[in-house]
Chain A
Amino acid sequence: MKRWTLWLPLLAFVAVVLVAALALMAPGDRTVRSALVGKPLPQFALAPLVAGKPGVATSDFSHGGPRLLNVFASWCIPCEAEAPQLLRLKQLGVPIDAVAVHDTREAVTNFLRRNGDPYRGVGDDPASAVQLAIGSSGVPETFVVAGDGTILMQHVGAIRDEDVLAIAHAAGVVG
């Protein structure tokens, strides 16, 4: 056996230790992202949930400029936390549609009365069918959808103050 081959097992061991150490030190990102970013919004049509507001359908996203699709629920506490940021986005001129997951008319009506109402339409998604169809894995999540129906961006979790500009930028209202 040649001299240098004696070192191979040690080298292999060091390589394994390095890979493990680097992976352990990197902060784990457990966010599950939709694989549909960059692809067209799947076909769906949800019935209206709140009195005086339309439902939400894919066809709403096929004309006009970019808009937001917000997946939320009245029973979700981070959704309350992001409500002021959604109102700000609306003021910036971004149209926002919503998918209400596992919810009731009364609960959502109360939620919108308490936290303000940024939505053009609110669709009723009682069995999370649309939530699953667009690759969302929780509430709240916000999708930026282009005028041609392509999903441009997915924001997982509550929109915080510092996220507003990035989302408005993706939706094309802030240079």
Chain B
Amino acid sequence: MRRLLFLLLFVASPAVADSPQPPPPLAYTQLPDAGQEARAKALMETLRCLVCQGQSIADSDADMAASMRALVRERIAAGESPGAIRAWLVARYGDYVTYDPPLSPLTWPLWLAPLLLLGLGVMLARGSFRRRGSGGSR
């Protein structure tokens, strides 16, 4: 019985989450124009694969990422600018889809915090140097 169960494992099909259909042609084929391909590649590296979430669509083999790569290449080949394609995706999936977060009320602390911390550091340093220069307070 145990051996039968073990053998049955070999005929069991894995639970598939991916389509058995071939991916769209441009998912794994570079564009003939090297300049366009470079622009498409640069954009793909800054777009998040929505189902893997830690990878860019350039890095992922998921169906969803393949479809998004095909979409990026098609639109670049049609003459659309990378910024417009990013905006199109952001309009559908939110800022989450881009690894290059735009400046918004949600992200401005991200951009301003380093400047504020640097300013704070300069102030602290100035204060302590001045004290040392005037003979020290302690």
Contact = CB atoms under 8 A, between A and B. Distances in A.
B19 interface: yes
A126 B24 contact: yes
Grouping DSSP codes into helix (H, G, I), strand (E, B) and loop, the A interface class, with mixed when no group exceeds half, is: loop
Contact of A75 (B20, B67, B71): B20
Contacts of B96: 32
B84 interface: no
A129 interface: yes
Contacts of B24: 126-128
B51 interface: yes
Looking at B18, B21, B96, the one whose CB has the most chain A CB atoms below 10 A away is B21
A131 B68 CA distance: 10
Interface of B: 15-21, 24, 50-51, 53, 63-64, 67-68, 70-71, 89-94, 96
Interface of A: 30, 32-36, 73, 75-77, 101-104, 126-129, 131-135, 137-138
Given A75-B16, A133-B92, 13 more contacts: A34-B92, A34-B93, A73-B19, A77-B16, A102-B19, A126-B21, A128-B64, A129-B67, A132-B67, A134-B92, A135-B93, A137-B64, A138-B64
